[in-house]
Amino acid sequence: MLLSNRVAIVTGGSSGIGRGIAIELAREGAKVAVADVQQAPKIGKYHETDLATTTVDEIEKLDGEGCFVKTDVSDESQVRNMIEQTHQRFGGLDILVNNAGIHIPGDSQALSLANWDKVTGLNQRGVFMASKLAVENLRNSRAGRIINIASIQAFRGGGGPAYPTAKAAVVNLTRSMAVELASDAITVNAVCPGYIETSIQDYASLEQIEVCRQKTLLPRFGKPRDVARACVFLASNDAEWITGTALVVDGGWLAGLM
């Protein structure tokens, strides 16, 4: 297994992409702390319509070790607790996956300032805070990894003013922290998904989903496992000399725009 005896935190790990990442890290031998505001998975109206088990349940089916830590990553005290609980349960930290995020639809005139703060507070500030607070533990690892889940929206307009802006900031934060932490042998990378079949897509209409289908060059939408396997690679020894990059996992969407 690629990640035997390594310890990981996956934020937003109860549902969607985070759930897929946590399961695949565990499949490769990692001990995984699933951090989220709720343990039960979110049930979607288009995708993930029939989930009946928790992420920790799925990890245990693989004979892996997992635990749930209730965490709102926009709250500093809860992020500190997330890291402390992980350290106490598993004895350290090797991999931090900053996946938790939200999207609130609305253009610059419709989106309230409160919702702007909510989106950027979780998607941008939360990534910085979790990374900042995890560094002390990651420095004690022989394979320290930070993996940030951004989006192809980081590279293009549309999608409202808050979400793409926050995701673009995550890509540049990734580069900045990669420079900062290289001397500690901690790699920092981002994964940028396209349309992935998760409950976060509930805000979209069927017409909007069809537009996404037409823009995705490969003949299917992405699944959480597609993003998860990219994260497994970046967390593994195979990627120990890769840092500061933004890996696009989008079925060819961005290539069709170039």
Residues 119, 153: Cα–Cα separation, whole Å: 14
Tokens of 201: 């897509």
Query: Is 203 considered catalytic here?
Result: no
Q: What share of the chain is helix, strand, coil (3-state, %, to 5)?
A: 45, 15, 40
Residues 238, 69: Cα–Cα separation, whole Å: 29
For residue 143, how far is the Cα from the chain centroid? 19
CB of 10 within 8 A of CB of 97? Answer: yes
**What residue type is assigned to position 88 of the chain?**
Q
Q: Which of 46, 163, 195, 203 is catalytic?
A: 163
State whether residue 34 is helix, strand or coil: strand
Which of the residues are catalytic? 163
